[in-house]
Amino acid sequence: MFKSAMLDWLLHSELPNSIGQLKHLRYLNLSRCRIKQLPQSVGFLFNLQTLILQSCEELTRLPQVIKNLQNLRVLDLTDTSNLQEMPIQIGNLKNLQTLTKFIVGKGIGSAVNIQDASNANLSDKHGLTALDLQWSLNPQNEEGEMHVLERLLPHKNLEKLRILFYGGKKFPSWLGMDNVQKVDVEFYGHGFPSVKPFPLLEILRFKDMLDWTCWSSPSQGNEDSWEEFPCLRELVVEDCPKLSRKLPSRLPSLLKLVIKRCPKLEGSSLSFPSLDELNIEDCNVELLGSILGLTSLTTVTARSRPKLQCLQNGVVQFPGALRVLVISNCNGLTSLWQKGAILLNIASLECLKITGCPQFVSLAEKEQGLSRGLDDLGSLNSYNLWKSPWGMHGFTSLVDLQIKSCPNLVFFPKTSFVPMLKNLKLKDCRALKSLPSGMMMLNCPLEELEIEDCPALTCFPSGRITTTLRRLRIGTVMI
């Protein structure tokens, strides 16, 4: 009884119809054959379990009768570059475990092919453990490709997935990577040097990858390499506790970077020249200071960094575009900047929020309280600003100041106030004894004042409340 066949048809372009007579055949290897298509008689190989068509470079299509091979477990189509058509009925092969390539129709992204992707029933392939999904080199319908990939949802038992030449801007929602340990050159399409990977990808998010330890990109250690993700606008990495080393170092179009709960992630000369928004939470204390060339940054958020004592070099070099600075739950924070730091670009700051920093006492290290810091920010006359002893210009644009849960903060300046401040919120500052006297002057623009859980505060500054005040809320204040 003939159960296995490895046929060498390198010089032949057709497989004889007589192949269908081998009804007990279980293994058929046609690697490197010059065949352009399989005969219809292949559909009679009901017991076939393995069909290998690797490196059949002239193969253009698979016959519809493939659907009859209900015992097929392995279909190897590796390196079949001219293959253009596969029967959608391949979705009926319930025992299929390995499928190295899947092609949806002739025109990826059309309405018909989106439906074809659903009809492939990959989610019903309980035994499918390996899958390759390959697109054409020249994407024609980016939106359509995203819809097609979304519909090609495989079963959760899948162990290996390769996606080649995908032209969509986003990955599908089903592409979970909980057990991934390493993202390396294969992620970038290693083996295709002429292809620039992810040329149109705009959003990339990694979340809840508990076993991920390493992200190796082609640019690491190679200054002459191309820039990965040339169109990437947003990068999010959250809850990857084992991830170490560093991020891709050159992302020229990146606008938003979010890194949360990645305590082992290293920082080393990251260049993101277009970065607009930076959000770092519960990460290595050195990561914030490792991002260079910040010429467009407008928003910075730093949360849950207990070893952070003051903002590092990367922060004090922020450009004049910085508008929002939020710091919360940094238990070791004592001041925003080291004494003597040159802060020439802080004048554009509009919103400063400091929350849950129990050791915080001042803006600049070793200066006496926040009173000295804010006193040096500027006078009430916006045309008569003066520099502080450590070279910092005034907060001339600060509109919103919020300080919460800072129990060591004692007082504000007695003789000055931030000239543009409209919103002041103080909460759970239990040692705070005084407010800035400038808030009681006629030219103070203050509109909202909220004070809560500040039991040491006993009085307002002398003078009249500004006429611009619209909202006043006071709770647990001994006044």
Determine phi and psi for 238, rounding to 5 degrees: -130, 140
455 with 479: CB under 8 angstroms?
no
What residues form DSSP beta bridges with 420? none
d(CA 114, CA 168): 14
Considering the domain architecture, whether residues 317 and 236 belong to the same structural domain is answered as: no
- Residue 463: what residue type? G
Considering the domain architecture, whether residues 267 and 311 belong to the same structural domain is answered as: no
Considering the domain architecture, whether residues 415 and 457 belong to the same structural domain is answered as: yes
Residue where a domain terminates, one of 250, 279, 308: 279
Considering the domain architecture, whether residues 401 and 434 belong to the same structural domain is answered as: yes
CB atoms within 10 A of CB 46: 13
Considering the domain architecture, whether residues 184 and 271 belong to the same structural domain is answered as: yes
Predicted local distance difference test score (pLDDT) of residue 401:
86
Predicted local distance difference test score (pLDDT) of residue 220:
60
Considering the domain architecture, whether residues 305 and 454 belong to the same structural domain is answered as: yes
CA angle 92, 93, 94 (to 5 degrees): 95
Query: Which token pair is 412?
Result: 């504000």
Q: DSSP assignment of 318-334, as one string?
A: --TT--EEEEES-TT--
* Tens digits of residue pLDDT in 76-117: 988 887 887 788 777 778 888 888 877 765 544 444 467 777
- For residue 177, the SS3 value is coil
d(CA 300, CA 433): 30
Predicted local distance difference test score (pLDDT) of residue 52:
93
Residue 189: inside a domain: yes
Residue 109, judged by CB atoms within 10 A of its CB (0-12, 13-18, 19+), counts as: buried
Residue 464: inside a domain: yes
Residue where a domain terminates, one of 279, 314, 340: 279
Predicted local distance difference test score (pLDDT) of residue 239:
92
Predicted local distance difference test score (pLDDT) of residue 10:
46
How many H-runs (helices) and E-runs (strands) does the chain carry? 4, 24
Considering the domain architecture, whether residues 327 and 208 belong to the same structural domain is answered as: no
Predicted local distance difference test score (pLDDT) of residue 390:
31
SS3 track for 383-404: CCCCCCCCCCCCCCCCCEEEEE
For residue 390, give the CATH number of its domain: 3.80.10
Residue 379: inside a domain: yes
CB atoms within 10 A of CB 339: 13
The mean pLDDT values, 10 residues at a time, for the chain of 479 residues are 50 77 91 90 93 91 90 90 80 81 57 68 75 70 80 81 78 75 74 66 89 79 65 93 84 91 80 86 77 75 82 54 85 74 63 86 50 29 26 64 86 64 89 77 82 86 81 71
Considering the domain architecture, whether residues 199 and 325 belong to the same structural domain is answered as: no
Considering the domain architecture, whether residues 240 and 335 belong to the same structural domain is answered as: no
Query: Which token pair is 405?
Result: 């849960």
Predicted local distance difference test score (pLDDT) of residue 50:
94
Determine phi and psi for 146, rounding to 5 degrees: -65, -40
**Domain count for the chain:** 2
Residue 63: inside a domain: no
Residue 161: inside a domain: no
Residue 382: inside a domain: yes
Considering the domain architecture, whether residues 394 and 451 belong to the same structural domain is answered as: yes
Measured between alpha carbons, how far is residue 451 from residues 423, 427, 454 in Å?
A: 11, 6, 7
* Helices 142-151 and 111-119, packing angle to 10 deg: 20
Considering the domain architecture, whether residues 306 and 271 belong to the same structural domain is answered as: no
- For residue 66, the SS3 value is helix
Record the pTM: 0.64
For residue 299, how far is the Cα from the chain centroid?
A: 16
What residues form DSSP beta bridges with 425? 402, 450
331 with 302: CB under 8 angstroms?
no
Considering the domain architecture, whether residues 315 and 448 belong to the same structural domain is answered as: yes
Give the domain extent around 253: 176-279
CB atoms within 10 A of CB 258: 16
Residue 65: inside a domain: no
